[in-house]
Amino acid sequence: MRVIVIGSGIAGVPSAYQLARRGVEVVLVDERHPGFATAAGAGIVAPWASRALAGAEYRLAAGAAGHYPVLVQQLAEDGVHDTSFEIVGGMVVSADEAELAEAQQRIGARAAEDPLAGAVRRLDPPQARELFPPLAGNLAAVHVSGAGRVDGRRLCSALRDAARARGARLLDGHAELALDGDRVTGVRVHGERLDADAVVVAAGAWTPELVAPLGVRLGVAPQRGQLIHLGLSGQDTAGWPVVLPVSTHYMLAFPDSLVVIGATRETGSGFDHRVTAAGQHEVLTEALRVAPGLAGATVLETRTGFRPLSDDAVPLLGPLDGYPNVLVATGYGASGLTVGPFAGQIVAALAVGDPPPIDLAAFRPERGAATG
């Protein structure tokens, strides 16, 4: 069996890796668009803390959090150890007692049903600053010990290496779906036709243009996100927890004195991958409001990427009507680095005819698609 996966970001490359682990012949095709989201992203794996996730989308994210330790073990078995994923804990921070009480109730209820969330506890401002020293002195926190963080570039690099070691073929170029009558039979890349039993279309915000020749319009558009990497010379940041203000912004630390702050959510941006003054101002203003101790940090790098945002902000995951061998994986929005690896496992199961581990009814691509 051969499966072609279009897109080597956090939607596509986990699918290719899981298929290769199943012994499937895999071809991973990528056009390397500037601004693809995974290359920019720093991921927070803490669905229990999310105010936005609910219902089926929360269940997907919670399953994804549980998949991360499994994935790390799988990669280790394949000799790949630099995934960047670490469980470092996370803090929802606020100076508002009502916001903290609501967060503690929500996270505590979810943790009671999911042991992976770990312990949930309240921290006063000195305790919060002990864990994340740059924090503002008036911010208390709700701490959840099971939260993790991951670097998108490093994780995807690890998955590509492991997929290649399992026999996957990596091919650069623009892919087009190949049709025979009313069936997709593979793709064309640089004029070369590659036949396949199934095709996974996981090209992020560029996915709609790939399926458009089938007469399908997917409800997905690019949402620009800008973030900043800061260096804190002399600080041991490796074990600092993820920080989640009661907003859409965040900060997370990595080894080597690195703190990542972000991110804008610029709906309607199109594919304009510039770093803008307004975007950087937004990111820095929010970060320094929450953590004024970062004011003396060195700006090391700015990144921008396009999240694939669906019309209803819920992922599109599964086969297309009329083309059951075309599997779509996109629309993850800001949750890409959380759900992507687990979604790859789901896609691999679907491609070989196995039942998915969760009910996918809420994620049907057709709910956000029109034909004609």
Task: Give per-residue pLDDT as tens, 314-328.
Answer: 999 999 999 999 999
Q: How many helices (H) and strands (E) does the chain have?
A: 9, 23
- Beta bridge partners, 201, equal 6, 328
Instruction: Using CB atoms within 10 Å of the CB of residue 258, give its burial: 0 to 12 exposed, 13 to 18 middle, 19+ buried.
Output: buried
371 band by pLDDT with thresholds 50, 70 and 90: very low
* Both structure tokens of 115: 């042991």
pLDDT exceeds cutoff 70 at 372: no
Q: Letter for the amino acid at 74? A: Q
Q: What is the amino acid identity at position 212?
A: A
Mean pLDDT of the region 74-103: 97
The percentage of the chain sitting over the pLDDT mark of 70, rounded to a whole number, equals 97
pLDDT at 59 over 90: yes
Inform me whether the pLDDT recorded for 370 exceeds 90. no
Q: What is the mean pLDDT of residues 279-303?
A: 97
Say whether pLDDT at 37 is over 70: no
Q: What is the pLDDT of residue 35?
A: 61
- Residue 137: which pLDDT band, with cuts at 50, 70 and 90? very high
Query: What residue has token string 């991951």?
Result: 150
Neighbours of 363 (CB within 10 A): 25
pLDDT, tens digit, for every residue of 337-350? Answer: 999 999 999 999 99
pLDDT digits (tens, 9 = 90+) for 158-177: 999 999 999 999 999 999 99
Q: Is the pLDDT of residue 39 over 70?
A: no
pTM higher than 0.75: yes
Confirm if 123 and 141 have CB atoms less than 8 A apart.
yes
Q: What pLDDT is recorded for position 191?
A: 84
- Neighbouring residues of 23: CB distance < 8 A, sequence distance ≥ 6: none
pLDDT score of 125 more than 50? yes
Instruction: Name the more confident of 36 and 303.
Output: 303
Rounded average pLDDT over 138-151: 97
What mean pLDDT do residues 238-253 have?
95
Mean per-residue pLDDT over the chain, rounded: 94
If you write DSSP's letter for every residue of 178-244 in order, what string do you get? EEETTEEEEEEETTEEEE-SEEEE--GGGHHHHHGGGTEEE-EEEEEEEEEEEE-TT---TTPPEEE
pLDDT on residue 182:
86
Number of C-alpha atoms within 13 angstroms, CB side, residue 90?
30
Question: How far from each other are the two terminal CA atoms of the chain, in whole angstroms?
Answer: 31
CA distances from 321 to 61, 268, 297, 365 (A): 25, 28, 51, 9
Report yes or no: 337 and 45 within 8 Å, Cβ to Cβ. yes
Continuous segment of H or E residues that includes residue 97:
helix 97-113
Cis peptide before 119 (omega within 30 of 0): no
Confidence of residue 32 (pLDDT cuts 50, 70, 90): confident
Instruction: Specify whether the CB–CB gap between 90 and 242 falls below 8 A.
Output: yes
Say what the pLDDT of residue 321 is: 93
Q: Grade residue 41 by pLDDT with cuts at 50, 70 and 90.
A: confident
**In the chain, pLDDT over 90 holds for what percent of residues?**
92
Residue pair 283/263 in contact by the 8 Å Cβ criterion: yes
